[in-house]
Amino acid sequence: MSQRLEKLIDQGTGRESADIVLKNGRFFDLVTGELVASDIAICGERIVGTCGDYAGKTEIDITGRIVVPGFIDTHLHIESSLVTPHEFDRCVLPYGVTTAICDPHEIANVLGEEGIRFFLDSAEQTIMDIRVQLSSCVPATHLETAGADLPVEKLLPFRDHPKVIGLAEFMNFPGVIHKDPGCLAKLDAFWDDHIDGHAPLLRGNDLNGYLAAGIRTDHECTTAEEALEKIRKGMHILVREGSVSKDLAALMPILTERLSPFLALCTDDRNPLDIAEQGHLDYMIRTAIANGVEPIAVYRAASISAARAFGLRDRGHVAPGWRADLVVIDSLENCKAEMVFAAGRRVTDAIFATRKPVAPVGLDSVKARPVQAMHFGVPVSENETPVIGVLPGKIITEHRRYRLPAAGNQTGVDLDRDIIKVAVIERHGRNGNHANGFVQGFGLKKGAIASTVGHDSHNICVVGVSEDDMALAANRLGEIKGGFVVVEDGKVTGEIALPVAGLMSLEPYEVVRDTLHDLRKAAYALGTTLEEPFLQVAFLPLPVIPHLKISDKGMVDVDRFELI
């Protein structure tokens, strides 16, 4: 042990050449806000020298470049990248994201503990430091059928794993406020651990009650005013920019130097196409600065503030003794990662080859029986029909009500008002539930889009104009063992297979990215006006996001937290 320390001290004092020295650059000091011209000496996993001249066994000239601490994605579901943790590592680390704190509740809702184990085994191999939080709400609520059930006794065996950071987003906020026994058992068992929150639109005394239970963060703020109330009440706000949930613009007013110690960045759900087209946390940083946010505020949120919020005491500064997670960028404003160091190792293609593979799981997770067009029928009703109102770039949906036209003895779609059908079909082989409803805002003029990604229970979710196309799309998902399918006029015009639990591909991220690009084109050909139609389909079944959703049990009034 002392040998390791002696080496660090000898390289830090300059008595011995450092393993690596970044020469002729500047680093961004997140304490003072200065750009400091300095060599940066690295020994093993640590920074050992700054603000001085150093010799190195390996010297890398970074003239004109700036060094910032590695970025930390404080809340994400790796499954939403549609690739495995190993491929996520290879896809995202080069953007400077050296730490990711994930909640594996997507795969856990399908496979239970087996899914969590797969993520922990993967996290032990990835170059990026992937931390895994224990999924607190599987199933998310009693209003849906998941593929698994994770009461507290199934979580406790994982708690002391070195890659685990407490409980993941406590989404069942009604269950907390109304003291659901299962919720209280988890909150009590993890009393001394970190507990992540998920409290969209929760305000006032209900929010106080939720916080009194020991929950510390939120990533569901969609307005600056909501975020300010939560910061005032001691929450750490994780500003989110995902493939559907895009809250950065609304929350920019709170991204200030003063509030930056209580802020972090996250993506929640971001797919490889958006990562390729825009970037990852680097995209959030450059967008924030381009819109007037001070660099020190957003770089703190991306690193030191995030590290402190999650108890990662070894990282977040460019300073001696801190973890050598470093991003060499072209400028603070452009934030283009030109070199990345993860725990002192330079990130190159070769480094990913040093990881051991982890066998995929859940390769036969779609157990739904084939359906027919008639299964999507909705009887005529004299009353107004509840219609889910989809909002572009949001997973919050409105609870709308319309009188819909009759088609024979059935309630029909109404393309003039952009109202089409939606259905959720249970796919875990537990009860064969099939619920039908209506949704407005997809812009579809024909065809159907189906998905086995259906947050968070991941039943089949399908939207469509034609019941025949909806049936074809849903059945095709069973044939490809899960994924997304687009159907137009009786033909499959686009699909991506996600055979790992019906959520992730076995292909490299480049293949998934390119397939998604073609898939989006097939969806646009149906007339959709949404930028990211697949994830917007995937969020329709999530009954912990206001206001109206649909599960395999039926339409869910989220505000009243009941089936209607």
Residues that bind ligand ADE (CB under 6 A): 77, 171, 198, 245, 268-269, 395, 455-456, 542
- To Mn ion, the closest distance from the beta carbon of 168 in angstroms equals 9
Phi, psi of 47 (to 5 degrees): -75, 135
Q: CA 238 → CA 16, 208, 491, distances in Å?
A: 41, 18, 42
- The distance of closest approach from Cβ of residue 158 to Mn ion in the complex, given in angstroms and rounded to an integer, is 20
Cα–Cα distance between 509 and 266 in angstroms, integer? 20
State in angstroms the smallest separation of the CB of 160 from Mn ion.
Answer: 25
Cβ contact 539:244 at 8 Å: yes
Q: How far apart are CA 333 and CA 7, in angstroms?
A: 36
CB of 340 or CB of 538, closer to ligand ADE? 538
Question: In angstroms, rounded to a whole number, what is the distance separating the alpha carbons of residues 387 and 331?
Answer: 47
Instruction: By CB under 5 A, name the binding residues for Mn ion.
Output: 169, 198
CB-nearer residue toward ligand ADE: 29 or 268? 268
397 binds, options ligand ADE, Mn ion, none, Cβ within 5 to 8 A by partner type: none
Question: Closest by alpha carbon to 517, among 284, 281, 271, 279?
Answer: 271
Residue 245, contacted partner among ligand ADE, Mn ion, none, CB below 5-8 A by kind: ligand ADE
Task: Look at residue 395 and give the partner it binds from Mn ion, ligand ADE, none, a contact being a CB closer than 5 to 8 Å depending on partner kind.
Answer: ligand ADE
Distance of CA 563 to the CA centre of its chain: 27
| Partner whose footprint covers residue 284, from ligand ADE, Mn ion, none (CB < 5 to 8 Å by kind) | none
- Report the nearest approach of ligand ADE to the CB of residue 198 (Å): 6
Closer to Mn ion by Cβ: residue 242 or 447: 242
Shortest distance, position 150 Cβ to ligand ADE, whole Å: 14
Contact 51, 35 (CB under 8 A): no
Question: Which single residue is written with the structure tokens 């069973």?
Answer: 478
Q: Which of ligand ADE, Mn ion, none does 315 bind, CB closer than 5 to 8 A by kind?
A: none
Please state the separation of Cα 179 from the chain's center in Å: 27
Q: Which is nearer to Mn ion, 199 or 387 (CB)?
A: 199
DSSP code, position 409: T
SS3 for 139-193, per residue? CCCCCCCCCCCCCHHHHHHHCCCCCEEEEEEECCHHHHHCCCHHHHHHHHHCCCC
Rounded to a whole number of angstroms, the minimum distance from the CB of residue 410 to ligand ADE is 33
Find the shortest distance in angstroms from Cβ 455 to ligand ADE.
Answer: 5
Judged by beta carbon, residue 242 or residue 502, the one nearer Mn ion is: 242
Name the binder of 226 from Mn ion, ligand ADE, none, CB < 5-8 A by kind. none
Between 7 and 142, CB nearer to ligand ADE: 142
- Minimal distance in Å, beta carbon 231 to ligand ADE? 19
**Residue 498 binds which entry of ligand ADE, Mn ion, none, CB below 5-8 Å type-dependent:** none
If contact means CB under 5 to 8 A according to the sort of partner, which of Mn ion, ligand ADE, none does residue 269 touch? ligand ADE
Tokens at 87, concatenated:
């491929």
Q: Residue 465 or 550: which CB sits closer to ligand ADE? A: 550
In the sheet that holds 385-390, the strands lie side by side as 397-402, 385-390, 434-440, 419-425, 460-464, 448-451, 483-488, 491-497
Residue 547, preceding peptide bond in cis (omega within 30° of 0): yes
190/166 Cα distance (integer angstroms): 7
Question: Which residue, 39 or 169, is less far from Mn ion as judged by CB?
Answer: 169
